[in-house]
């Protein structure tokens, strides 16, 4: 990655950007990291550039871009934060300092997890750009994870799926959330990742080709009805989301998932969104129960669009997503969008003040009467709906739906541990496999090495879709 790529990208969305200053930050960081290399042999600066590239992709402001280039200087080199401040000023310095502080965690296990979350929320309240910088940093680390040992890969991937991606989702930053999830998915569940990508790839290609052909017809229909869309593009569902949907709908072959590829229609006004919807329903028969009006009733993270699924040409089932340009921006960049099109009002505090859920979390976290556990439990209501947090004997956090049992836990860890599990110790006490787990429990799974198949009775009490689908698959194998 070259700094010029980033300069060009920034100039495109922000013609007033201070290109000289960005160039200067690049040279400053490059000199500071001189002679340092990443484990994969790359110059260290490639990491800073890689992370900053993502920041430019979501159109962040100059201060964030500059902080991205500098983000590892105080922690990894002999150049101090004060020198960064002298060269680049207070705003950039406070961003770099914030990212560095997020990386320093003192505890282990449950406390570490709570501490990590608390720090994320405090940073969001202080300046949301700090968390966005951390996302970009983590995303580039994930993209270069191959070189690390397996247990470290798992720890990082796990933390991303449990903490970073849900927060990115809550902040509506689709670009970041989808990439974090797909990168982590690959390391967390390598077998499932391979199965899903191999299964989905041909379907995605076929559907994209079909939608390419459909475009001409759509242009014609829209023209006849006096609609001129600003844009029409096919959007491909990301792999982790396909995986989750296949578990939820219990369709391992991905049949019946209609939105693998959707057609996105961007128009000028809200009124036009509804006109497009009407026209589509007039020409193509809609599938029942598939229409969703997220404009009148936005999702919790402020996602807005109209969704409908229709039988289109050649009786092909197609999902349409209809929205305006600002809605499209919000869907991809979420809260980060406020740093580009909403130029007049760049105060982070002003933006976060309007996030009721964040204010509530902050009031809880600042109250010292709450234990780590109570803090996590309150978070469940918001970000992690009805979830519990349990621990492996090593202190890794596993996030499961309320009501989960040791069998759910075992299958979450690995399908072979699930298959072979014969009992459990919860907080050092023997417990039966249908015991409901509580937040904070430390769970140790006992296995029987020679066991070949799971017990079908487990299906009657387990809670997670993942365990269900894995058990069913293992039982099917057995019958072949």
Footprint of Mn ion on this chain (CB under 5 A)?
A: 72, 137
Contact indicator for 432, 455 with CB cutoff of 8 Å: no
Q: Which is nearer to Mn ion, 136 or 200 (CB)?
A: 136
Closest approach, Cβ 93 to Mn ion, in A, equals 17
Nearer to Mn ion, 36 or 432 (CB): 36
The smaller minimum CB distance to Mn ion, of residues 40 and 422, is found at: 40
Kindly give, in sequence order, each residue whose CB lies less than 8 Å from that of residue 130, ignoring residues fewer than 6 positions away.
Answer: 95, 98, 99, 102, 123, 124
Closer residue to Mn ion (CB): 72 or 162: 72
Query: What minimum distance in Å lies between the beta carbon of 72 and Mn ion?
Result: 4
Minimum CB separation of residue 351 from Mn ion in Å reads: 25
Q: Min. distance of Cβ 56 from Mn ion in angstroms?
A: 16
Residue closest to Mn ion when measured from CB atoms: 137
Question: If you search the block for the tokens 């009002």, which residue do you land on?
Answer: 345
Residue whose C-alpha is closest to residue 155's, from 108, 121, 111, 123: 108
Going 463 to 465 to 467 to 473, the CA torsion angle's sign is: positive
The nearer residue to Mn ion, 140 or 387, going by C-beta atoms, is: 140
71: tokens are 């983000």
- Burial class for 85, CB neighbours closer than 10 Å (0-12, 13-18, 19+): middle
Which is closer to Mn ion, CB of 116 or CB of 302? 116
Q: What's the min distance (Å) between Cβ of 31 and Mn ion?
A: 17
- Please report how close the Cβ of residue 162 comes to Mn ion at its closest, in angstroms: 20
Nearer of residues 139 and 421 to Mn ion, judged by Cβ: 139
Contact 444, 398 (CB under 8 A): no
Shortest gap between Cβ of 46 and Mn ion (angstroms)? 11
Please report how close the Cβ of residue 323 comes to Mn ion at its closest, in angstroms: 34
| Interacting residues of 42 by C-beta distance below 8 A, sequence separation 6+ | 144
CA distance linking residue 478 with residue 480, whole number of Å: 6
Nearer to Mn ion, 46 or 434 (CB): 46
| Count of H-run helices and E-run strands, the chain | 21, 11
Shortest CB 281 distance to Mn ion, Å: 49
Give 38's DSSP letter.
Answer: -
Rounded least distance, CB 58 to Mn ion, Å: 17
400: three-class secondary structure by DSSP? strand
Which residues are CB-contacts of 62 (< 8 A; sequence separation ≥ 6)? 10, 14, 17, 18, 21, 22
Among 67, 71, 431, 413, which Cα is nearest to 422's? 431
Six-digit token string for 134: 């951390």
* CA-angle at 199, arms to 195 and 203, nearest 5°: 160
* C-beta closer to Mn ion: residue 137 or 328: 137
Q: What is the C-alpha separation between 240 and 246, in angstroms, rounded?
A: 10
Residue with token string 């995605």: 204
| Closest C-alpha to 381, from 108, 185, 170, 111 | 170
Pick the closer one to Mn ion by CB: 72 or 328: 72
Q: Could you give the maximum distance between any two Cα atoms of the chain, in Å?
A: 71
> What residue has token string 């010292």?
368
């Amino acid at each position: 990655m070259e700094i010029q790529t980033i300069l060009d990208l920034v100039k495109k969305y922000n013609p007033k950007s201070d290109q000289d200053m960005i160039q200067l930050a690049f040279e400053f960081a490059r000199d500071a990291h001189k002679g340092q290399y990443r484990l994969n042999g790359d110059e260290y600066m490639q990491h800073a550039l890689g992370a900053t590239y993502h920041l430019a992709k979501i159109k962040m402001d100059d201060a964030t871009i500059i902080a991205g280039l500098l983000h590892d200087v105080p922690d990894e080199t002999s150049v101090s934060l004060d020198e960064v401040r002298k060269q680049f000023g207070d705003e950039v310095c406070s961003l770099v300092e914030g990212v560095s502080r997020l990386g320093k965690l003192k505890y282990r296990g449950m406390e570490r997890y709570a501490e990590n979350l608390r720090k994320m929320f405090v940073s969001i309240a202080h300046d949301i750009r700090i968390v966005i910088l951390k996302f970009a940093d983590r995303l580039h680390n994930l993209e270069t994870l191959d070189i690390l040992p397996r247990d470290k890969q798992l720890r990082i991937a796990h933390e991303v799926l449990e903490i970073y991606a849900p927060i990115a989702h809550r902040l509506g930053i689709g670009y970041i959330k989808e990439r974090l999830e797909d990168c982590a998915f690959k390391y967390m569940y390598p077998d499932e990742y391979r199965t899903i990508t191999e299964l989905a790839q041909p379907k995605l290609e076929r559907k994209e080709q079909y939608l390419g052909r459909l475009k001409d017809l759509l242009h014609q229909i829209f023209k006849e009805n006096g609609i001129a869309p600003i844009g029409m593009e096919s959007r491909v569902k990301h792999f982790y989301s396909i995986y989750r949907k296949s578990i939820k709908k219990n369709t391992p072959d991905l049949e019946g998932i209609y939105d693998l590829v959707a057609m996105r229609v961007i128009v000028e006004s809200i009124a036009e969104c509804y006109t497009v919807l009407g026209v589509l329903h007039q020409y193509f028969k809609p599938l029942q129960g598939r229409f969703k009006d997220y404009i009148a009733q936005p999702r919790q993270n402020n996602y807005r669009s109209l969704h409908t699924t229709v039988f289109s040409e050649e009786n092909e089932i197609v999902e349409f997503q209809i929205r305006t340009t600002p809605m499209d921006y919000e869907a991809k960049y979420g809260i980060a969008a406020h740093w580009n099109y909403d130029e007049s009002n760049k105060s982070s505090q002003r933006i976060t003040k309007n996030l009721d859920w964040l204010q509530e979390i902050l009031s809880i976290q600042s109250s010292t009467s709450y234990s780590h556990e109570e803090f996590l439990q309150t978070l469940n209501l918001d970000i992690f709906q009805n979830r519990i947090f349990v621990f492996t004997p090593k202190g890794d956090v596993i996030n499961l739906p309320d009501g989960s049992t040791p069998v759910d836990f075992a299958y979450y860890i690995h399908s072979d541990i699930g298959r072979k599990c014969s009992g459990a110790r919860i907080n050092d006490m023997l417990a039966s496999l249908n015991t409901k787990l509580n937040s904070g429990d430390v769970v140790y799974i006992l296995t029987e090495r020679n066991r070949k198949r799971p017990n079908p009775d487990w299906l009657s009490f387990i809670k997670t879709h993942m365990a269900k689908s894995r058990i069913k698959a293992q039982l099917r194998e057995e019958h072949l």
